[in-house]
Amino acid sequence: MKKFEFLKHTGDLKFQAHGKNLNEMFENCVLAVSSVFSRGKKIKDLRMKKISVSGKDYESLLYEFIDEIIYLFDASGFVASRAEVKIEDKTIHAEIYGDDTSNYDNLDAIKAPTYSEMYVKKKNDTWECQVVLDV
């Protein structure tokens, strides 16, 4: 099973992330977002930030989670490389690993996640989500 894959979209970036459980699916979303920021290059795990976000359903939780990753990039100069996620009752508690943006050249910006075409669903024994990023 692929952790994530980018799909064709006009104007923005769209990806699907997969996981054997909901936590892993959200962790793989961070890998996809990191891949966009870094243009596919490796980001080192030199720092860690703890975050918590909540949502009324899995789609709003996904939106808030990705929005927080983008906020760390924009406001704190922190680029994520990976995450360890625990979901409890529509709240994510996560440790986000990454590095300072100043240690990398040519990082790409993401404006925001969107609700366009977004979904989170269980398919057989795995979880899948789809996200469109406004870039």
pLDDT at 24: 98
pLDDT at 11: 87
Condensed to tens digits (0 to 9), the pLDDT of residues 39-49 reads: 999 999 999 99
Q: What is the 3-state secondary structure (H, E, C) of the chain?
A: CCCEEEECCCCCEEEEEEECCHHHHHHHHHHHHHHHHHCCCCCCCCEEEEEEEECCCHHHHHHHHHHHHHHHHHHHCEEEEEEEEEEECCEEEEEEEEEEHHHCCCCCCCCEEEEEEEEEEEECCEEEEEEEEEC
pLDDT at 1: 85
Which residues does the chain have with pLDDT short of 50?
none
pTM to 2 decimal places? 0.96
Q: In this structure, are residues 118 and 133 in contact, taking their beta carbons and an 8 Å threshold? A: no
Angle between helix 22-38 and 58-76 (nearest 10): 30
CATH assignment, 17-134: 3.55.10.10
Phi-psi region of 106 (alpha: psi -120 to 50; beta: other; left: phi over 0): left
